[in-house]
Amino acid sequence: MTDSTETPSGLPDFDPFKFQSSLKEIGERSQRLIEEFYNQEKDQITHMDPAKLADPGILDPNNIQEAFTSLFTAMMSNPQKFAEAQANLWQTHMNLWQTTAKRMMGEAVEPVVKAGPRDKRFRDSEWDENVVFDYIKQSYLLTANWLNQAVDEAEDLGDEERRKVEFYTRQYVDAISPSNFVMTNPQVLRETLSSNGENLVNGLENLLEDLERGHGKLNIKQTDMDFFKVGENIALTPGKVVFQNDIIQLLQYTPTTDEVYTTPLLIFPPWINKFYILDLRPENSFIKYFLDKGYSIFVVSWVNPDKKLAEKTFEDYMFEGVFAALDAVKAATGEQEVNTIGYCIGGTMLSASLAYMAKKKINKVKSATFFAAQTDFTEAGELKVFIDEEQLQSLEREIDASGGYLEGTTMANTFNMLRSNDLIWSYVVNNYLMGKDPTRFDLLFWNADATRMPKNVHMFYLRKCYLENALAEGKMELGGVTLDLSKVKTPIYLQSSKDDHIAPYRSVYKSTHLFGGEINFMVAGSGHIAGVINHPAAGKYQYWTNPDLPGTVEEWWEGATEHPGSWWDEWELWLRAKSGDKVPARVPGEGQLDILEDAPGSFVRVMS
């Protein structure tokens, strides 16, 4: 009999009796989990309207089956090409068998396939050093690459179908990675043996907690949600709420300089997330950095809507959001015009508002900067996978069932799928297989602190922008006005990010030929968040500039110049030229607006 202190694995803490006990506990908890899930699903189906249950959209809300049917039809229409592809797959696996056999005999061999440089799944040394795990890894990579390539090369597929099958094939390929399973992940195996299975017990407990928090739906915890408190250790820059209506609170920040530029700066964040992405911590706060540069900063904090606001429209968000904020800043400062920033969907709304003002000959905005914001949605990236008429109808049913608003977790889960290995499967491994708690990370707390959205606002945005591209094509109507972006003569600064999956830089670039005035365009390193929130003190990433705006973004890249670090200071030079002379610093409450409460306000504290 093997002593518990001497095991063939070399793991001195392994105790087979404790391990057996852990397995028993895992089995009991798993049975309870399955029973609860089964009962919940059964109850949901029992109480569902029979007419809805007969709707095929209930079982396939993302309309995947039709796309994959088209794929299989396209593949079978050319059986010779499909047979050649299968033969190639067989040959690559034979090559892997041969190199593995040589390696087992002590011969040095080059791997048949390698993981990408950004692939974090196979960083544990055992994936390379242990011949068995190396074989498992390479076998998976060969099959995954083959499957993705086969889909990519399929003929006779429409653009929409191709996007969908490529996206969901990648989701499948990511899900079956050997790193996601206990017996094929060396790191998980080591932890299981050294902890006598306690990691799996703890992981199951984490899974149960995530299901409970998601009310039966898996809501993966990405960070310590109890540690961060808005206004206590996150969103700390001092300021006051100086205006409020049904849709927004307006924050005016306390100046940090004796003098400020004449023209105030008003920021419109996206309403699908909370504004404090711009103010996570003092050392990476966009707001604090530019307060210290001498700007009067106002930020819109959008409401986290409930059933009472379910009937609000996109038009309401323009009038009660953008225009109400512009009027409030004027009352607070006495200035007729302001510089503005629109982030993501907040930028799309700002674009539409500028077009409305241009048509009405209203002059309230001196300049507009757009962070990762789109106006032309023809190349809007992988989010278009989720947007066709069938899926939008399914989404409407979901929103109606929720009381007229879209749950915040729905959009958060969608964004997570765009980077599933980093934002889903890495946490499955860490939380459920390793049995660990996720690290404390302010950005991921913000990412999970999503907001709800009224049905009319969200469906208008998806249909008019993503599905119809109405804003770019001059067909969108708001407030009785048909919007024409070419009439906008306001100076524009377009920020984009090289690895942005939500607002791809090539999509943002299309705006350079839509507005009618002075336009600047740049590309930052990293993605949708880190490309924007990149404090100069961090010394990270880079950015590219080119004063010329040729017909395509590919031509723009050819003449672009790369600069190290953050783009903030270069943009500040552009903004400074449009901000006027210095005046005594403006303190919240000294204008025509009374102080309502301290920043960050009450709207931002409402969690979904």
**Tens-place pLDDT, residues 439-459:** 999 999 999 898 999 999 999
Q: Residue 59: pLDDT above 60?
A: no
Structural domain contains residue 421: no
Where does residue 10 rank: exposed (0-12), middle (13-18), buried (19+ CB within 10 A)? exposed
Same domain? For 188 and 292 the reply is: no
Is 362 contained in some domain? Answer: yes
Is the C-alpha dihedral spanning 127, 129, 130, 131 positive or negative?
positive
pLDDT digits (tens, 9 = 90+) for 516-564: 999 999 999 999 999 999 999 999 999 999 999 999 999 999 999 999 9
- Return the active site residues: 344
Residue 532 belongs to a domain with what CATH number? 3.40.50.1820
Q: Where are the alpha helices (DSSP H) in 274-313?
A: 286-291
Q: What is the pLDDT of residue 491?
A: 98
What is the C-alpha to C-alpha distance for residues 85 and 146, in angstroms, rounded to an integer? 8
CB atoms near residue 24 (< 10 Å): 12
Q: What is the per-residue pLDDT for 7? A: 40
471 and 537 housed in the same domain: yes
Q: Give burial (CB, 10 Å; 0-12/13-18/19+) of 226.
A: exposed
474 and 389 fall within a common domain? yes
Lowest mean pLDDT among 89-93, 253-257, 261-265, 338-342: 89-93
What pLDDT is attached to residue 40? 62
End position of a domain, from candidates 161, 176, 194: 194
- Report the pLDDT value the prediction gives residue 466, as an integer from 0 to 100: 95
Domain boundary among 163, 194, 225: 194
In this structure, the answer to whether residues 183 and 302 fall within a common structural domain is no
Higher-confidence position of 564 and 34? 564
**Are 384 and 511 in the same domain?**
yes
- Check pLDDT > 80 for residue 72: no
Contact 368, 491 (CB under 8 A): yes
Rounded to whole angstroms, the Cα distance separating 157 from 379 reads 17
- Is 68 domain-assigned? yes
Kindly state whether residues 138 and 244 are assigned to the same domain: no
566 and 482 share a domain? yes
pLDDT in tens, 123-140: 999 999 999 999 999 999
Query: Beta partners for 564?
Result: 542
Q: Please, are residues 246 and 324 in contact by the beta-carbon 8 Å criterion?
A: no
Q: Encoding tokens for residue 496?
A: 């984009």
* Residues 359 and 251 occupy one common structural domain: yes
**Where among 160, 178, 194 does a domain terminate?**
194
Query: Residue 171: which residues within 8 A CB-CB, separation 6 or more?
Result: 417, 420
CB burial of residue 222 (10 Å; 0-12, 13-18, 19+)? buried
Least confident of 63-67, 275-279, 397-401, 483-487: 63-67
- Could you give the CA distance from residue 366 to residue 358 in angstroms, rounded to a whole number? 12
Single out the residue of 346, 347, 234, 270 nearest to residue 605, CA to CA.
234
Residues 549 and 466 in one domain: yes
Least confident span in 148-157, 276-285, 362-371: 148-157
What is the pTM (predicted TM-score) of this model?
0.88
In 3D, which of 136, 131, 108, 109 has the Cα closest to residue 121? 136
Share of the chain above pLDDT 70, in %: 89
pLDDT at 73: 74
In terms of pLDDT, which residue wins out, 496 or 81? 496
Domain that holds residue 117: 48-194
Average pLDDT over residues 487-510: 97
Comparing CA positions, the residue from 597, 602, 590, 589 lying closest to residue 248 is: 602
The residues that bridge with 494 in the sheet, in sequence order, are 370, 521
Give percent of the chain with pLDDT exceeding 90.
Answer: 69
Q: Is the dihedral of CA 61, 65, 71, 77 positive or negative?
A: negative
Flag whether 219 is in a domain.
no
| H helix and E strand count, the chain | 23, 17
Residue 597 has pLDDT above 50, yes or no: yes
The span from the CA of 316 to the CA of 142, in Å, is 52
285 and 140, same structural domain? no
309 within a domain of the structure (yes/no): yes
pLDDT band for 430, please (50, 70, 90 cuts).
very high
- Are 401 and 486 within one domain? yes
Beta-bridge mates of residue 266: 298, 340
Position 14 scores a pLDDT of 65
The pLDDT value recorded for residue 9 is 44
Residue 177 pLDDT > 80: yes
For residues 278 and 168, membership in a common domain is answered with: no
Name the band, by pLDDT with cuts 50, 70 and 90, for residue 8. very low
User: What residues have CB less than 8 Å from 321, skipping those under 6 apart?
Assistant: 247, 248, 268, 271, 300, 302, 349
SS3 579: coil
Asked if residue 339 is part of any domain, the answer here is: yes
Task: Name the domain count of the chain.
Answer: 2
Rounded distance, CA 360 to CA 132, Å?
Answer: 70
Q: Evaluate whether 505 touches 523 at the Cβ level (below 8 Å).
A: yes
The pLDDT of residue 49 is above 70: no
Flag whether 190 is in a domain: yes
192 closest CA partner among 433, 439, 438: 433
Q: What is the pLDDT of residue 401?
A: 86
Structure confidence at residue 52 (pLDDT): 52
The confidence band for 10, taking pLDDT boundaries of 50, 70 and 90, is very low
140-167 pLDDT per residue, tens: 999 999 988 888 887 777 778 888 888 8
Tell me, rounded to whole angstroms, the distance of Cα 500 from its chain centroid.
9
Whether the pLDDT of residue 288 is over 50: the answer is yes
Provide the mean pLDDT of the chain. 89
Complete DSSP assignment for 491-538 = -EEEEEETT-SSS-HHHHHGGGGTSSS-EEEEEESS-TTTTT---GGG
pLDDT of residue 4: 37
401 within domain boundaries: yes
